[in-house]
Structure 1
Amino acid sequence: MSFEYAGATVEIVDAATILAAARVNPVELLRRATFPAPVRRATLTVSSADSPSGPRHVFVAEIRTNDDDVPQRERIRAVVLGNDPVGTLLAKRIAAGDPVTTKIVDGVGAAAVAAYKKLGLDRPSGPAAEREPGAAVLADAAAGVQAAVTYDQAGSVVRLRAEVPRDDVQPAHLEAMVKLTLQAVAELLGPEAGEQPLAGRRYVVSRETIPRVATTTQTVTLDQVGGLADVVAELRQIAVSFRHPEAMARWGARRPQGILMYGPPGTGKTMLSRALANEIGADFREIRTPEILDKWLGGSERNIKQIFRDARRYRVPTLILFDEFDSIISYAGSGGDAASQAINAVAGIFKQEMNDLIEANPNVIVVATTNFPHRVDDSLIRSGRFDVKISVPKPDEVSRAEIFRKMIAQLAAVHEEPGFTMFADGIDLAELGRLSHGMTGADIKEILRRVQLAKAMQDARTGGLVEPISQQDLVASVNDLLGPR
């Protein structure tokens, strides 16, 4: 969707996906956007939170007219030193560690700050300064969004916060919050900026691909899946069909109700199922063998019926995963023993229940994963029950390099901070992809875990005197995991 606001062109890329992803991880928007002075930075974060009235989507915008990335001492020094030749000379001496020059300049700066405060010159000017610290409200009546607005004591930070019940949230709410954020920016620019203060600017609102929180199996997104471009593309299409039932109805189209993913162990089938659920914004329900198979006569049949009975009652989008599908309902053959009869009975009930599940509850999608597709009877996974069958292979050399890249980028985004670098420059991803022949994504994750553990133990022993993870460290870990050759 796109719209015009305050002279700027705004494009929101797949708002439904942003809202779905925010159910799992906070989604940061507008981080790279630039605005006219005095606005330094504006961000909009969409997240999910529980409240006594139920789960809610939380929209928080923060607009700054100062630069928090520059320490106050550095800003004072910049003012005191200026750009003249003397200031340049003094700056060079400070950079060289001259203690006398540093003390003199900092002393002058402290005196200047004290004088500014005494004269009242430290107070901000412009529209933000005219507001008393406290709260106000900005609202978009059309979307029904009300954002509480708070200002800090200095008037340099403005925050907007709005909440919408999760079951009611729509792309229109995100659009409204973006407009309210830009409205707050325009107010900070003041009347002198004119009626179109953002004229000529273009803002693209899309989710950040690398969340700055530690990713778990439960919170993984399709953006973070590396090395399976074709598989990810197909799952994205399925997610789009799930999130837009009105388009499906308009064309009389039927989205897939069942997906079978098969491939070697460790290739990420369960992770992909989780990522698909998060892409859709669906609850995740995993069914394992002990939940179905029962040693008592008739127990297994009752269990599978109950699982589907519950599925027909779900009122929110839900992905049901039958992990290790072959162990749950693979045919034991034509034997007359009780075990074979029980498994065959479960398989028969499963087929019956899948026949009309999507008509009974369009909120549900079923995913089954297996390492041994040949053990699953063809009648169970025919089209109409499992419409999509996806092979998840071991990654090739290029894909392994991509998995390394995404995993390293995620670790750096979460753990690196000023003064701490986790990975050294010059990491050769192509070499890592070549050396890790035959490995899966699970193996690559283990390679990084071992290197992280080794560095942490070294840090514990030396008190922090540890070099960043290097190419040599990663190569050694790859060879260690491969073992003798």
Structure 2
Amino acid sequence: MHDEIFEYAGATVSLVDPSTVLAAARVNPVELVHHADWPSPVQRVEVTVSSLDTTAGPMHVFVARVHAGAEPMSTERMRKLVLGRDPIGVLLSKRIAEGDPVATRIVDGVGSAAAAAYRKLGLDKAGGPAPHRGPGVFADAGVGLQAEVSHEADGDVIRLRSEVPRDEATANHLRAFVTLTLQAVTELTEPEALRGRRYVFSREATPPPAPVTTQQVTLDMVGGLADLVGELRQIAVSFRHPEAMARWGARRPQGILMYGPPGTGKTMLSRALANEIGADFREIRTPEILDKWLGGSERNIKQIFRDARRYRVPTLMLFDEFDSIVSYAGAGGDAASQALNAVAGIFKQEMNDLFEANPNVIVVATTNFPQRVDESLIRSGRFDIKISVPRPDEVSRAEIFRKMIEGLAAAHERGGFRMFAPDLDLPALGVASTGMTGADIKEVLRRVQMTKAMQEARTGAADPISQQELLAAVRDLRGHV
């Protein structure tokens, strides 16, 4: 089972086993939302995936229905809707003013109230349908998904619908549709209304809680490092839009070198980039390459790149602790140094034509000691982008605390259980944790969680984690590092 866990508008979103959902929807419709706490005025959201044979061929059909209130659509209610006197009306009147086809199409269908709305906005448009206007759309450019947006006349329901050729539908399409559904929710509420909440889209009525792991991290979940994250997003965009790259003859970066102190998140960033691209993740560790037998290391590195040339889907290859594989090239005359030199030489040759052989592949190498890596090995053309991943500053540390705390709360707080006190002072935690890395902050939280769990195990109850407890854990860890 492979779950998609990502962040949208401050909410943690779990899409449970999307590949199985798409497979099951070929036979019977699959409903994905069962129980969720939505911000007012949204009362519930329904998402269904089904299959349909059309003249264009078999399609997967994604439908979302966002219910924004139980009151029926009376004449007065419709008048409020188009004149901006309730949350849906605010959205529609704003969009009418901007010429949005979604809003104009909805309002065109509500009779005389539409005329008043148009007159109010200075558009002097008589009520009635506008045949030249098509349905409005939300769109996700990343996967080319469009969702038609309409309003159901029998209640305050906004409906999104999208079709994808069944044999082309992937987990990325399903994730994009879920994101567009959440976008509709935020436009009916407030931009920050979802922050701190957790939503699970699953075939099961009560899926188990799924805390975020390194394997499921996205760039949205990275605390601090805004410039670095922005650069990685640009790389992801270049992968998701090959047609634009081809039109301009632009070449995506083939290799990225990330360097910095231990614990700063280099491996996590690599996984986040792979998830942002929608790429498979292949981590190559030192034991897979270095072999005690003569010629074994060289054969291993050749086989790794031979496999890379055959990948048919976007793939990120991570060479972690790169210096331990190819360090000190040209130094020393003993057998070990000669083996490293041979591996480094083959690595250079393989990188020279990898992109031409398979543009779906991107190579990321991480190291704590960039000075140990031969400069010719990481020159432009092999590693086009070199990124320093520093220890986080005060603001970044506070942001890391915020992201980690929100993730833990979203994964574990339910049924009245509160994990963290509401009055945490994150900037103060950022100041207190001077010199710490993201890995250190994760360890601080682990220690406090363990203490609380043991306290509950002994006494049967424990208060939420407080500011003082977090500060004490910070001081304790700093005293041992």
TM-score band w.r.t. shorter chain: 0.5 to 0.7
Q: CA deviation at 1:52?
A: 11
Residue number in structure 2 paired with 1:386: 383
| Cα distance change, pair 31–261 in 1 and its aligned pair in 2 (3 A) | closer
Distance 1:228 1:31 in 2: 17
Tell me which of 333, 340, 344 is aligned to 1:343: 340
Secondary structure in structure 2 of the residue aligned to 1:319? strand
Question: Counterparts in 2 of 1:139-154, with a 5 A limit?
Answer: 145-147=59-61
Aligned match of 2:295: 298
CA contact under 8 A between 2:329 and 2:344: conserved in structure 1?
Answer: no
Q: Distance in 1 between matches of 2:234 and 2:258?
A: 15
Percent identity over paired residues: 66
> Which residue number in structure 2 is paired with residue 437 of structure 1?
434
Cα distance per residue 1:118-145 (max 9 Å; x no partner): xxxxxxxxxxxxxxxxx99778876953
1:470 aligns to what? 466
1:171 to 124, 143, 150: 143
Q: TM-score, with normalisation over the residues of structure 1?
A: 0.65
The CA deviation string for residues 57-105 of structure 1, in whole angstroms up to 9 with x for no partner, is 99856599x99999xxxxxxxxxxxxxxxxxxxxxxxxxxxxxxxxxxx
Q: 1:395 to 1:139 in 2, by over 3 A?
A: farther
* Corresponding residue number in structure 2 for 1:416: 413
Aligned to 1:312: 309
What is the distance in 1 between the residues matched to 2:250 and 2:64? Answer: 47
Give the match for residue 459 of structure 1. 456
* Equivalent of residue 189 in structure 1, options 148, 155, 174: 155
Question: Alpha carbons of 1:242 and 1:56: their partners in 2 closer, same or farther (altered >3 Å)?
Answer: farther
Matched residues, number:
357
Give the equivalent residue in structure 1 for 2:393. 396
Partner of 1:260: 257
Residue in 1 that maps onto 2:43: none
Note the alpha carbon deviations across 1:281-305, whole angstroms, 9 max, x for none.
1111111111111111111110000
Counterpart contact for 1:136–1:150, Cα < 8 Å: no
Displacement of 1:334 after TM fit? 4.0
Unaligned runs of 5+ in 2: 41-48, 71-140, 158-182, 200-209
The reply on whether 1:49 has 2:21 as its aligned counterpart is: no
Cα deviation 1:324-366 (Å, max 9, x = unaligned) = 0000011254433222211111101100100111110011000
Give the Cα separation in 2 of the matches to 1:425 and 1:304: 52
Give the whole-Å Cα distance in 2 for the aligned partners of 1:253 and 1:482: 47
Partners of 1:442 and 1:310 in 2: CA distance: 33
Q: Which stretch shows the higher mean deviation, 386-395 or 229-238?
A: 229-238
- 3-state secondary structure, aligned to 1:453: helix
**Which residue number corresponds to residue 218 of structure 2?**
221
TM norm structure 2: 0.65
Q: Is the 8 A contact 1:47 1:59 kept in 2?
A: no
Query: Is contact 2:420–2:465 with CA below 8 Å preserved after alignment?
Result: yes
Q: Secondary structure at the match of 1:379?
A: helix
Match of 1:370 among 357, 362, 367: 367
Structure 1 residue 466: Cα displacement: 1.4
Separation in 1, partners of 2:18, 2:184: 31
Instruction: Name the amino acid aligned to 2:462.
Output: V
Q: Are the aligned partners of 2:7 and 2:220 in contact in 1 as well (CA < 8 Å)?
A: no
CA contact (8 A) 2:263 2:440 kept: yes
Asked if the contact 2:329–2:374 (Cα under 8 Å) also holds between the matched residues in 1, the reply is: no
Residues 45 and 59 of structure 1 are in contact (CA less than 8 Å); yes or no, is this contact kept in structure 2?
Answer: no
Q: Distance in 2 between matches of 1:30 and 1:343?
A: 47
